[in-house]
Amino acid sequence: MLNEHQLASYHQDGFCVIPNFKDLQQCQDLQYRAEQIVADAAVEDISIFTTTEQQRNADDYFLSSGDKIRCFFEEEAIDDQRKLKIDKKLAINKLGHAMHQYDPVFSRFSCDLKLQQICRQIGFTDPRLLQSMYIFKQPRIGGEVNIHQDSTFLYTDPLSVVGFWFALEDATLENGCLWGLAGGHKTPLEKIMKRKSDDMGIEFENLKDNRYLADDFTPLPVKAGTLIMFDGRFPHFSKANRSDKTRHAYTLHIIEGSAHYPEFNWLQREDKQPFPSFDSLLSALQNPL
């Protein structure tokens, strides 16, 4: 559970930092599993992930990944013929977007009772695990993630998404730690990313221009095992990783089950099943098919 200071910080600043939320063994287990998934992945179907070219890269592979485990590659690791220029394990940008449900190692990491309690503490009545991402932030080519609010991509009415960002390795200024704008969660939602009506790609609906300045953001360097949790309107970004170290992180996004989840959101389950609760994931882990 969050202590009084952490809870106050979450409400006032839109985020809070919880050191030692996971132990190093848990972090290493997840890293090992992610590397196995990449090693087993076929690379015929190359899909690039970059937030600077998000519109162009929102292909069907991305749009249908909401209930799957898929690999997305770094733009700088792909040549003009869409072939990998470097070793697959160093070319991967992220895994997404349902490891929490379909991989037992990720499920165990995600079904954390402490996390469930925190969700209740910050006001969730029916927390649903919507999305997971494993972010590699590779040495030298780990792409920047530009300033955004997570509710832009995971919209509910009323807004409810909370991001849980786990550092699996030390995140530093050199390898591309998170940066955030304290109190920025009180600014309006700038835009909403929507599927186009013909389902061919995505578009943005602009709501407001908050004119964020990167100079107003503060870096959030943290040790491995730290959890940073933040409100869906908390503006944040990370710079490119030009160092020779990786910066692995795992993120979970949780929404309120009673909030309306529109069909225009990019993340839709092809099986039309509801997003899982902590309890349903726990029972699936305890009673595997």
Question: In whole angstroms, what is the distance from residue 275 CA to residue 108 CA?
Answer: 17
78's tokens: 């792909």
Closest approach of Fe ion to the CB of residue 42, in Å: 28
Residue 13 binding Fe ion, by CB under 5 A: no
Question: In whole angstroms, what is the distance from residue 62 CA to residue 165 CA?
Answer: 21
Give the SS3 label for residue 182. Answer: coil
Instruction: Check if the beta carbon of residue 174 is closer than 8 Å to that of residue 243.
Output: yes
Pick 24 or 194: Cβ nearer Fe ion: 194
Question: In whole angstroms, what is the distance from residue 42 CA to residue 67 CA?
Answer: 18
Closest approach of Fe ion to the CB of residue 247, in Å: 15
Of 1-9, 14-22, 35-43, 146-154, which part binds Fe ion (CB under 5 A)?
Answer: 146-154
151's tokens: 């509710």
- For residue 254, give the amino acid letter: I
Question: In whole angstroms, what is the distance from residue 143 CA to residue 238 CA?
Answer: 9
Pick 235 or 276: Cβ nearer Fe ion: 235
Closest approach of Fe ion to the CB of residue 143, in Å: 13
Question: CB neighbours (10 Å) of residue 62?
Answer: 21
Closest approach of Fe ion to the CB of residue 144, in Å: 12
Distances (CA, A) of 9 to 15, 163, 179, 248: 7, 15, 16, 25
Of 4-12, 33-41, 150-158, 260-268, which part binds Fe ion (CB under 5 A)?
Answer: 150-158
Pick 112 or 150: Cβ nearer Fe ion: 150
Pick 36 or 182: Cβ nearer Fe ion: 182
**Nearest CA to 133 among 248, 41, 259?**
248
Pick 103 or 150: Cβ nearer Fe ion: 150
Closest approach of Fe ion to the CB of residue 55, in Å: 17
Pick 70 or 94: Cβ nearer Fe ion: 94
Number of residues near Fe ion (by CB under 5 A) = 1
**Nearest CA to 265 among 24, 63, 69, 127?**
63
Closest approach of Fe ion to the CB of residue 175, in Å: 17
Of 3-11, 64-72, 145-153, 264-272, which part binds Fe ion (CB under 5 A)?
Answer: 145-153
Closest approach of Fe ion to the CB of residue 232, in Å: 9
Of 58-66, 105-113, 143-151, 187-195, which part binds Fe ion (CB under 5 A)?
Answer: 143-151
- Dmax over Cα atoms in the chain, in whole Å? 54
Q: Which residue's beta carbon is nearest to the bound Fe ion?
A: 150
Pick 146 or 273: Cβ nearer Fe ion: 146
Q: Nearest 5°: CA angle at 221, between 219 and 223?
A: 165
Closest approach of Fe ion to the CB of residue 212, in Å: 14
Strands (E), 27-103: 69-73, 92-97
Pick 42 or 179: Cβ nearer Fe ion: 179
112, 150, 169, 256: which one contacts Fe ion (CB under 5 A)? 150
Give residues in contact with Fe ion (CB under 5 A): 150
